Amino acid sequence: MQNLSNVELSMGRFYKFIEHRTTDIRHLTSFGSRLLPSEIEEYRDSHWQRDGEGRVETAVQAERFIERVGFASCLLDSRRPGPSLYVSVCGRRDAVLPRNVQKDPETSLTWMLKDELVRRRRVYYAKLFRGKAIFLAPRMIPYFKTLWGFSRRQEKERLSKTALSVLRVLRKEWEMGTADLRAESGVTDRKAFALAIDELQAAMIVVPTEVIYEPKFTYLWGLAEERFPEELSRKVNRQIALREVARCFLDGAGMTLRGELARVTGLSRPEAGLGNRALVKEGYAVMLAPGTYQLTKLFS
């Protein structure tokens, strides 16, 4: 792991991003936390490692956390629902990103762990729905691919021209740094390139493969199928994918409130409802009220 001071010197863009996101959500409170029974909050503390006992400090621990929860955000804090690497690093239910993230050791550790996880290639990392940076355990990749990806023959219809230009280069080169990829693809405008990369990540086609800090900060980009060929080639029925994503979230949450699954996963509310109701049908969950579901094993 790199020296903290050297990393901090190269993280200007990251800090600007975090400060922007922190400003955007500073007025929010934890999603529906006042509606959750105390035993459910304690259940989430244990399963999402918010209680301090399972605080994440190393890349190996981070991989185990992601494998256990199935999917997790990278840097969202307690004001947003769902498992989060940042919150598990803090080990606190009420963890909130500080305004001055440059001097915050927990934020810096989370960012360095993210870099290490990208290098180790054992979990999936990319910006998926709504530009949110997400980690996926390999077992969850086929379900997310079904919900967010599309076939190669649909690419010309569903991708923008700039995204297709970037993808065309990566299909030839397999891996390339940001500057070289911009030059080779002809997408030289920074904003247009960033949008194209985000579009390809959201479709689960392209992922960051390495983070370089010297001589200057940059990402290497590659094809997701090169890292996880089996998982991304597996065909899954959409209804099954909805059910398994709902199961994954409910396993860690214990109870899901109205709209919570949709907010965490980016699904529409109707599709989130289909996933939750499929769990009720098989007896895995009970519906306490419209939009509110709880694990059957916790129901009494």
Which residue type does 171 have? Answer: R
SS (H, E, C) 216-278: CCEEEEEEHHHHCHHHHHCCCCHHHHHHHHHHHHHHHHCEECCCHHHHHHCCCHHHHHHHHHH
The tokens for 177 are: 């740094």
What residues does each domain of the chain span? 4-136, 145-233, 238-298
pLDDT of residue 19: 42
Q: What is the pTM of this model?
A: 0.87
Cα separation of 155 and 264, whole Å? 26
pLDDT of residue 49: 95
* Fold agreement (145-233, 238-298): yes
Whether the Cβ atoms of residue 23 and residue 99 lie closer than 8 Å to each other: no
Task: Note the CATH number of domain 145-233.
Answer: 1.10.10.10
238-298: CATH, from 1.10.287.3510, 2.40.33.20, 3.90.1170.50, 1.10.10.10: 1.10.10.10
Cα separation of 41 and 43, whole Å? 5
Whether the Cβ atoms of residue 180 and residue 188 lie closer than 8 Å to each other: no
pLDDT truncated to tens, each residue of the chain (300 aa)? 444 444 444 444 444 444 444 434 333 334 444 579 999 999 999 999 999 888 999 999 999 999 999 999 999 888 889 999 999 999 999 998 888 777 789 999 999 999 999 999 999 999 999 889 999 999 999 999 999 999 999 999 999 999 999 999 999 998 999 999 999 999 999 999 999 999 999 999 999 999 999 888 999 999 999 999 999 999 999 999 999 999 999 999 999 999 999 999 999 999 999 999 999 999 999 999 999 999 999 986
User: What residues does 135 pair with on adjacent strands?
Assistant: 72, 125
pLDDT of residue 300: 66
pLDDT of residue 32: 42
The tokens for 261 are: 């699954």
